[in-house]
């Protein structure tokens, strides 16, 4: 997951789905001078996310069943991610949401929004994530008093080179996050980066950001006008940082509020089939899957299959041993590819082990399909409609898959963060 942090703070937790509103304060009079830096600070909050307990448990169990050290499943994985975020109005203008980076919320279904050292909003639902653009939309409780925060606005204007900007967020200072507002300029208003075949445009700027700033707003100077989400630090260059443009954020926000309701069975089946088709098409082609496809693999499946997949790929058996006296032949002992093991250990230390294993889990599916002579017919047409209608009770929807070998596989899809993701494969 993203930057990790242990809080030694006593926090007041409000349920994100309700609870008493925070105390109202008097609105400033029209003549009162607005303290812009203070409003920028009130619009920016800390975000804390944790992987679900069932994912943690499954991952630890797979480590125990594998030949990897137990520490990989206990102390080896950072379960908690922290970053920054900011408040916006919903597209209809009637409510509020929190915007942050996808890599901050990771795969957590709910997050904690920390308003200050004494007050937090607990169990806030992650409504939608966009892996291509690294943007997440989080539900904010209706009970949140707007006087306790400030609401930013997404810029609809053009961002120009050399324009003055300010980065607001909570970078790490030792073992805590501390608020910081930095100033700089836009150095490249159309900076393109291609990652695994997907081209994304960023705003490149010089307002300093560090781990913990992820998901925080990039303001126009002295305003609440957000022109981007701070996302990347160019580690190979000093004083160069990047943000996801406001126009991209608006597109993600619109998509988040256009996800079909699960009570609309036909629309839901169509959405499941879309995820299924994208996944199976990529499995049929093979090779390194794009970000959009890997994101369709749930952390639950990664937790259940990720380590064994790594084992299949990187652990080999030594030659069989023959007992000279009895002639009995015993299988060779397992031998770890040291270079590959180092790769996994490095990924764990960076805290992104789930992301590392996601691609390997995808590779496991690909290898299995090749062994079974691939897919026949249209596997995504056989959605179990009863599962869709009973989803709240079942928690999954089954989709049938026929293989060239005559065998059959069942895919299980779960609704996670606004998408139907593969969470089971039998």
Average pLDDT over residues 32-55: 89
- Residue 2 scores a pLDDT above 50: no
Higher pLDDT, residue 60 or 273: 273
Average pLDDT over residues 168-192: 90
- Residue 426 scores a pLDDT above 80: yes
Higher pLDDT, residue 234 or 208: 208
The structure tokens listed for 281 are 């098409």
Q: How far apart are the first and last CA of the chain?
A: 27
Q: How far apart are CA 209 and CA 230, in angstroms?
A: 8
- Residue 66 scores a pLDDT above 90: no
Lowest mean pLDDT among 9-13, 144-148, 188-192: 9-13
Which one, of 224, 222, 244, lies nearest residue 232 by Cα?
244
| Range 72-79, long-range pairs (CB < 8 A, 24+ positions) | 72/307, 72/344, 72/348, 72/353, 73/307, 76/348, 76/353, 77/348, 77/351, 77/353, 77/354, 78/1, 78/4, 78/351, 79/1, 79/50, 79/51
Higher pLDDT, residue 195 or 55: 55
Asked if 229 and 243 count as a contact pair (C-beta separation under 8 A), the reply is yes
Higher pLDDT, residue 148 or 392: 392
pLDDT value of residue 364: 84
- Residue 380 scores a pLDDT above 90: yes
The structure tokens listed for 341 are 């093991």
CATH number of 12-25+33-254: 2.40.10.120
Q: How far apart are CA 134 and CA 231, in angstroms?
A: 8
Q: How far apart are CA 201 and CA 301, in angstroms?
A: 31
- Residue 154 scores a pLDDT above 70: yes
pLDDT value of residue 73: 60
Q: Using one digit for the tens of pLDDT, what is the confidence trace for 11-38? A: 344 567 544 444 443 444 444 577 999 9
- Residue 9 scores a pLDDT above 50: no
Asked if 224 and 150 count as a contact pair (C-beta separation under 8 A), the reply is yes
Report percent pLDDT > 90 for the chain: 47
Average pLDDT over residues 248-268: 94
Average pLDDT over residues 348-365: 76
Choose from 84-98, 229-243, 349-363 the range with maximum mean pLDDT. Answer: 84-98
Other C-beta atoms closer than 10 Å to the C-beta of 33 total 6
* β-strands 44-50, 110-114 pairing: antiparallel
Domain ranges, ordered by start, for the chain: 12-25+33-254, 265-425
Average pLDDT over residues 205-217: 92
pLDDT value of residue 68: 65
Q: Using one digit for the tens of pLDDT, what is the confidence trace for 86-142? A: 999 999 988 999 999 998 998 899 999 999 888 889 999 999 999 888 999 999 988
Other C-beta atoms closer than 10 Å to the C-beta of 406 total 9
Choose from 15-19, 285-289, 337-341, 372-376 the range with maximum mean pLDDT. Answer: 372-376
Average pLDDT over residues 247-266: 94
Higher pLDDT, residue 1 or 94: 94
Mean of the per-residue pLDDT values of the chain: 84
- Residue 353 scores a pLDDT above 60: yes
- Residue 292 scores a pLDDT above 70: yes
HEC string for the chain: CCCCCCCCCCCEEEECCCCCCCCCCCCCCCCCCCCHHHHHHHHEEEEEEECCHHHHHHHHHHHHHCCCCHHHCCCCCCCEEEEEEEEEECCCCCCEEEEECHHHHCCCCEEEEECCCCEEEEEEEEEEEECCCCEEEEECCCCCCHHHCCCCEECCCCCCCCCEEEEEECCEECCEECCEEEEEEEEEEEEEEEECCEEEEEEEECCCCCCCCCCCEEEECCCCEEEEEEEEECCCCCCCEEEEEHHHHHHHHHHHCCCCCCCCHHHHHHHHHHHHHHHHHHHHHCCCCCHHHHCCECHHHHHHHHHHHHHHHHEEECCCEECCCCCCEECCCEEECHHHHHHHHHHHHHCCHHHHHHHHHHHHHHHHHHHCCCEECCHHHCECHHHHHCHHHHCCEEEEEEECCCCEEEEEEEEECCEEEEEEEC
Block residue for tokens 């093979």: 286
Q: How far apart are CA 259 and CA 268, in angstroms?
A: 9
Higher pLDDT, residue 290 or 134: 134
pLDDT value of residue 307: 75
| 303 φ/ψ angles, rounded to the nearest 5 degrees | -65, -35
C-alpha dihedral sign at 59, 64, 68, 74:
positive
């Amino acid at each position: 997951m993203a930057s990790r942090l242990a809080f030694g703070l006593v926090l007041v937790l409000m349920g994100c789905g309700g609870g008493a509103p925070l105390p109202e304060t008097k609105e400033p009079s029209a003549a009162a001078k607005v303290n812009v830096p203070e409003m920028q600070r009130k619009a920016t909050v800390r975000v804390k996310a944790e992987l679900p307990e069932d994912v943690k448990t499954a991952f630890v169990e797979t480590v125990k069943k594998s030949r990897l050290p137990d520490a990989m499943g206990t102390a080896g994985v950072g379960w908690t991610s922290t970053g920054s975020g900011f408040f916006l109005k919903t597209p209809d203008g009637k409510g509020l949401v929190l915007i942050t980076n996808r890599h901050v919320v990771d795969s957590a279904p709910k997050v904690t929004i920390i308003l200050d050292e004494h007050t937090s909003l607990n169990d806030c639902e992650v409504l939608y994530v966009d892996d291509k653009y690294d943007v997440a939309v989080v539900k904010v409780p209706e009970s949140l008093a707007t006087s306790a925060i400030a609401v930013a606005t997404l810029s609809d204007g053009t961002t120009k080179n050399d324009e003055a900007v300010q980065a607001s967020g909570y970078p790490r200072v030792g073992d805590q996050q501390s608020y910081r507002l930095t100033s700089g300029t836009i150095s490249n208003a159309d900076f393109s980066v291609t990652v695994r075949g997907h081209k994304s445009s960023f705003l490149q700027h010089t307002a300093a950001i560090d781990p913990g700033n992820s998901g925080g707003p990039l303001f126009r100077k002295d305003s609440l006008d957000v022109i981007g989400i701070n996302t990347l630090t160019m580690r190979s260059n000093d004083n160069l940082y990047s943000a996801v443009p406001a126009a991209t954020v608006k597109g993600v926000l619109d998509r988040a509020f256009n996800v079909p309701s699960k009570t609309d069975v036909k629309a839901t089946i169509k959405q499941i089939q879309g995820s299924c088709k994208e996944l199976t098409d990529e499995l049929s082609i093979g090779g390194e899957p794009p970000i959009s496809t890997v994101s369709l693999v749930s952390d639950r499946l990664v937790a259940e299959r990720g380590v064994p997949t790594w084992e299949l790929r990187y652990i080999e058996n030594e030659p069989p041993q023959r007992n000279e006296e009895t002639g009995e032949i015993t299988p060779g002992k397992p031998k770890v590819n040291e270079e590959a093991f180092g790769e996994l250990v490095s990924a764990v230390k960076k805290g992104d082990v789930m992301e590392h294993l996601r691609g390997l889990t995808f590779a496991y599916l690909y290898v299995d399909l090749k062994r079974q002579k691939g897919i026949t017919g249209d596997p995504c047409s056989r959605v179990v409609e009863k599962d869709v209608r009973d989803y709240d009770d079942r928690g999954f929807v089954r989709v049938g898959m026929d293989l060239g070998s005559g065998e059959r596989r069942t895919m299980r899809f779960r609704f996670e963060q606004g998408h139907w993701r593969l969470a089971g494969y039998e």
